[in-house]
Chains A and B, each alone.
Chain A
């Protein structure tokens, strides 16, 4: 139990660092592109590979940041129907949908790992200015999905615990009501 808690702390730290890296990418992208525009206009110099690197950075930013968003349940949902449910039912439904998401993340994790390994083994190179091997760029996808996979399990567990605690809270109230009914019964 202690080891699990320690693992969770380490996992949370990794998510925090990934989020910080994603934030740094956004600022660096802005600075690099601005510098390129200014240099191009002032001294006529432009570094062509920059634009290629920027496109890769968008992929990295997305997959570095996505687990942090999932941790705070921040991914967009259409909650117009589920908001009408009782908190208990909502927690149960959330737990189920997150279990389904775990499965989906697992499937995608499997196929993206397979793809990255294939690209590494075949030394697949991207046809672009830099001609980089593809695997170091795409490796962030399985990493991101692995982190998501773990986080989704945590979320599903969290929602299930919420459901259980709400059920427990409801139960004594129901018992009390039943006892009260008996006392106040006119018969």
Chain B
């Protein structure tokens, strides 16, 4: 780019990020805060009016990107499950199969959360379903808030870690990490987190049974359980194969697998006799709401990273950071601490758009695997959704919880699960193979 003013790299970063954060703090829509910063940045660094024309051009190329296709489609899958009532049916089925266990309903929340996550691409979707179905039942059984709210909120965040994950696609597309490999790389960490949650519930309820009082579980014969499994849960295999299996076997690209996933969800809703025109229309409209929110941030923010790149700020920052006399892992930890901090205040899409242009070149320069970094970053962002003071999923939970539940209750209940999430993240930082072996298996 020619004609712009030449400034020190740290001035460019300070100006662009400073302006963005101040505008965001005023409550301006984040997409417009990006557009404002871009107008100023384009005018200064891209050469006045020519820069603004260039900015207008970049709006066109912002979302005309085939890699973004899975985002609306993964979100649509979740909306079909939610609108059609398929999710409620699934919880009932898992409830029948699950035997007598300490903290049974809390485990039911996590188990159902995992299954719902195979069909729901965004966090928050399954919290709505689980919260409405399970909270009244848990309340009736005398479950403590810690065992009611925590498991539901935390299982909601699994939607980010188990494919289909719209945020994984978004991160992959922006960071230019293979989306197919990333979707496979998050499966084992996602299941590991779920297993840790279940383990924690069992141990805590065994130590203190008052948290989740025992109750008589209706006796269900093995043949009945088998029947429920085959008729109610087995059809989900169709969705899992459409989304994960098709990518793993190389039948479809992530975009195509998302489309197949949508069709599988329609078929599933039809099998359960829940498919109607109303379901199709409402789910599609809800999808547009969420997708447009994300894509409009992309419209504003793609130019933001381009402007920063053309000022030389990103490469200078990377050069500066790699020249520091510290072990590279401390820089990785620093990036994760920034994500934790941002996660407490911002929505995931904005965090991705702000940090990816800076973090990923740095990670590459430090010689780390960007796929591994994408996995731990996703886990971190997912934890931001349940972290105080502004974890979005906690607000969702508060909205559907009974009136006597305070936001403080929700945050306190989710805290142990958040710590378990950080523990899993640390394990993946130390043992990258937890995330990498499945995509490497596919490569073979």
Interface residue A61 (Cβ < 8 Å from any Cβ of B): yes
Interface pair B24/A78, CB less than 8 Å apart:
yes
Report the separation of the CA atoms of residues A90 and B28 in the bound assembly, to the nearest whole angstrom. 11
Asked if B292 and A76 make an inter-chain contact with CB atoms under 8 angstroms apart, the answer reads no
When the two chains form their complex, are residues B56 and A33 in contact, meaning their CB atoms are under 8 A apart?
no
Does B57 touch A at the CB level, under 8 Å? Answer: yes
B30 located at the interface, meaning its Cβ lies under 8 Å from any Cβ of chain A in the complex: yes
Task: Judge whether B291 and A61 touch: CB under 8 Å.
Answer: yes
Given contacts A97-B26, A100-B36, contact A29 B72 (CB under 8 A): yes
Determine which of A36, A77, A90, A114 lies in contact with B56 in the assembled complex, contact meaning CB atoms within 8 Å: A114
Say how far B212's CB is from chain A's closest CB, in angstroms: 33
Which of A79-87, A161-169, A171-179 is found at the contact surface with chain B?
Answer: A79-87
A34 interface neighbour in B52, B59, B263, B292, Cβ under 8 Å: B263
The answer to whether B292 touches A22, judged by C-beta atoms less than 8 angstroms apart, is yes
A65-B288 contact in complex given A29-B72, A75-B30, C-beta closer than 8 Å: yes
Chain A neighbourhood of B345, CB < 8 A:
78, 80
Interface residues on A, range: 35 or more
A76 touches B293 (CB 8 A): yes
**Chain B residues within an 8 Å CB radius of A54:** 66, 69, 255
Assess whether A94 is in contact with B56, with CB atoms less than 8 Å apart: no
Known: A69-B293, A79-B27, A104-B39. A112 touches B288 (CB 8 A): no
Least distance between A184 CB and chain B CB atoms (Å): 36
Q: Which of B197-205, B220-228, B279-287, B434-442 makes up part of the contact surface?
A: B279-287
- Residues from chain B with a CB closer than 8 A to the CB of A69 are 289, 292-293, 296
CB within 8 A of B66: which of A51, A66, A115?
A51
Establish whether residues A82 and B26, one from each chain, have CB atoms under 8 Å apart when the complex forms: yes
Say yes or no: is B256 at the interface (Cβ < 8 Å to chain A): yes
Q: How far apart sit A55 and B285, CA to CA, in the bound complex (Å)?
A: 19
On whether the beta carbons of A78 and B52 are closer than 8 Å, the reply is no
Q: In the bound complex, do residue A81 and residue B280 qualify as a contact, i.e. CB atoms below 8 Å apart? A: no
Contact of B28 among A30, A97, A108 (CB under 8 A): A97
Binds A, one of B112-120, B137-145, B179-187, B346-354: B346-354
Q: What CA separation (Å) do A75 and B35 show in the bound complex?
A: 13
What residues of chain A lie closer than 8 Å to B291, measured between beta carbons? Answer: 26, 61-62, 65
Is the Cβ of B288 less than 8 Å from the Cβ of A19?
yes
* Nearest chain A CB to B166 CB, angstrom units: 13
Q: Tell me if A37 and B293 are in contact (CB < 8 A).
A: no
**Which of B235-273 touch A at CB < 8 Å?**
246, 251-252, 255-256, 258-260, 262-263
Cβ of A24 under 8 Å from chain B = yes
Quick check: is B373 within 8 A (CB to CB) of the other chain?
no
With contact pairs A93-B27, A104-B32 given, residues A26 and B293 touching in the complex (Cβ less than 8 Å): no
Closest to B56 in A: A111
Write out the residue numbers on chain B whose beta carbons fall within 8 Å of the beta carbon of A79: 27
Cβ of A62 and Cβ of B66 under 8 Å apart? no
Contact for A111 among B30, B52, B280, B285, CB less than 8 A? B52
Are A41 and B251 touching (Cβ within 8 A)?
A: yes
Interface residues of A in 33-69 (CB under 8 A from B): 33-34, 36-37, 41, 51, 54-56, 58-59, 61-62, 65-66, 68-69
Q: Which residue of B lies closest to A51 (CB)?
A: B66
Interface size class of chain B, counting residues whose CB lies under 8 Å from the partner chain: 35 or more
Answer yes or no: B25 CB below 8 A from chain A CBs: yes
User: Which B residues are CB-close (under 8 A) to A51?
Assistant: 66
Complex: how many Å from CA A83 to CA B142? 34
The answer to the question of A9 belonging to the interface, with a C-beta cut-off of 8 Å to chain B, is no
Give the most central of A20, A27, A141: most B CB within 10 Å.
A27
> How far apart sit A109 and B59, CA to CA, in the bound complex (Å)?
11
Q: Closest CB-CB distance, A111 to chain B, in whole Å? A: 4
Query: Is A183 in the interface zone, CB < 8 Å from B?
Result: no
Instruction: Confirm or deny: A129 has a beta carbon within 8 angstroms of a beta carbon on chain B.
Output: no
Among B31, B35, B76, point to the contact of A76 (Cβ < 8 A). Answer: B31
In Å, the complex CA distance between A124 and B240 comes to 43
User: Which residues of A in the span 123-158 have a Cβ within 8 Å of any Cβ on B?
Assistant: 134, 137-138, 141
Q: Indicate if A7 sits at the interface (CB-CB under 8 A).
A: no
Asked if A10 CB lies within 8 Å of chain B CBs, one says: no
What's the least CB distance linking A58 to chain B, in Å? 5
Q: Are A26 and B297 in contact (CB under 8 A)?
A: no
Query: Within residues 3 to 37 of chain B, which ones have a CB less than 8 A from any CB in chain A?
Result: 24-32, 35-36
Known: A59-B60, A141-B56. 16 other contacts (CB 8 A): A19-B288, A24-B284, A26-B76, A27-B280, A37-B251, A37-B256, A54-B69, A55-B69, A58-B65, A58-B295, A75-B29, A76-B30, A78-B347, A81-B27, A141-B59, A141-B60
* B interface residues with partner A (beta carbon < 8 Å): 24-32, 35-36, 39, 52-53, 55-57, 59-60, 63-66, 68-69, 72-73, 76, 246, 251-252, 255-256, 258-260, 262-263, 280-281, 284-285, 287-289, 291-293, 295-297, 299, 345-347, 349-350, 389-390
A-B contact pairs, 12 of them (CB 8 A): A23-B287, A29-B73, A37-B251, A59-B63, A62-B295, A68-B288, A68-B289, A76-B29, A76-B31, A80-B390, A94-B27, A107-B52
